[in-house]
Amino acid sequence: MRGVSVQSITKSFGDGLVLRDISFTAGAGEFVTIVGPSGCGKTTLLRIIDGLEEGDSGEVRIGDRLVSGPARECAFVFQADSLMPWRTVFDNAKLGMELRKMDIQTHKDRLKELLQLVGLGGFEKYYPRQLSGGMRQRVNLARALAVDPDVLLMDEPFAALDAQTREIMQTELLRIWSDQRKTVVFITHQLDEAVYLADRVLVMGRKPGVIADDITVPFSRPRELSLKRTGEFGQLVERIWGTIEGVIRETGGI
Ligand SMILES: Nc1ncnc2c1ncn2[C@@H]1O[C@H](COP(=O)(O)OP(=O)(O)O)[C@@H](O)[C@H]1O
Ligand SMILES: [Mg+2]
C-alpha cells in the first residue's frame, strides 16, 4: 500500500488562482480528511491527486510514482449518485473493474466478498431504485474497493444522506477501512465527520485555496459513535471551527 504526497501544487482556471502552493502528505494507510468553505478548491485538489486534472506547477506522487494522467492506484467515490439505474448492484460494483479491463471471472468471488463487507450480501441482484441512499453509497464504495486501489479519494460521499444514515455510514467506513487498510483522502463539509473519521484533519482556506491548518486527531481506535458526545471531541471541533471562521473572515462570504 502506498501513501500520497502533494508538493507545492498551484492551479488556476483562466485568471482565477484556485490552489496556491498546496503541500501535504497522507502516509500509507492514513485517513486524512479535508474541510474548508465551498469553492476553496477541495474537489480540484482531489482531481489533481487522481490525475484527472493537472496542476500548473508542483507534483503529486503515489508512493514513489509521479502522477501524470489518471492514476490507477486511486479510486474515486463521489457524492452524486453515480450508479447506472439499469444495472444490478453486482453489475454496478464491477464497473470499475470493467473500465480497467480486469477479468471479472477471476475476481468474481472477491467482488462478492466485498459486497458482503459493505453490507450488501444478498442484494446483488437488486437495482439502484430498490435501494436506500445509504445502500447506494455502499455500492459506490464496493465499486471503488473492487479495483483494489492504494488510495481512496472520497468527495463528500455522505453529504446527501440523512443524519442518521450518515452516522451509520461513518462507522461502516471505519470498519471497512480497518479491514482493507487503504490510504484515504476524504472531503467533507461536516466537522464532526472530519474529526470522527480522521487521523489528521486538513483545514483549507480559500481565494486561493491554501492549507490553513493540519491537525492530528488524538483519539484512539476503534472509535465508538459516543466519542462524538465527549468534551474532548467537542473542543477539537470548536478549534477547527475557529480556524474556518478566521479563514472566512479573511476571505469574505461562504
Ligand atoms: N473546470 C473548471 N473551470 C473553471 N473553473 C473551475 C473549474 N473547476 C473548478 N473551478 C473553480 O475553482 C474553484 C474551486 O472549485 P472546487 O474545487 O469545486 O471547490 P470546492 O470543492 O472546495 O467547493 C471554484 O471557484 C470553481 O468555480
Ligand atoms: Mg467540491
Give the chain's mean pLDDT.
93
Q: How confident is the model at residue 208 (pLDDT cuts 50, 70, 90)?
A: confident
The conformational region for residue 150 under phi > 0 = left, psi -120 to 50 = alpha, else beta, is alpha
42 in ligand 1 pocket by Cβ < 6 Å? yes
41 in ligand 1 pocket by Cβ < 6 Å? yes
Place of cell 460494483: 93
* 50-68: pLDDT as tens digits: 999 999 999 999 999 999 9
CB atoms inside a 10 Å sphere around CB 233: 18
The arithmetic mean of pLDDT across residues 196-220, rounded, is: 92
Residue list, CB under 5 A from ion ligand 2: 42-43
Q: Which of 9, 10, 15, 18 to mutate to test the pocket of ligand 1 (most atoms within 8 A of CB)?
A: 18
The single-letter DSSP state of residue 48 is H
Secondary structure class of 29 (helix, strand, coil): coil
Q: How confident is the model at residue 147 (pLDDT cuts 50, 70, 90)?
A: very high
pLDDT in the model for residue 252 = 64
Longest CA–CA span in the chain (Å) reads: 55
The conformational region for residue 99 under phi > 0 = left, psi -120 to 50 = alpha, else beta, is alpha
* Structural domains of the chain in order of their starting residue, each with its CATH number: 4-73+149-251 (3.40.50.300), 81-148 (no CATH)
Does the pLDDT at position 249 exceed 70? yes
pLDDT in the model for residue 27 = 98
Q: How much is the pTM? A: 0.95
Per-residue cell: 184: 484515504
Beta 16-26 vs 4-13: how paired, if at all? antiparallel
97 CA to middle of ligand 1, Å? 29
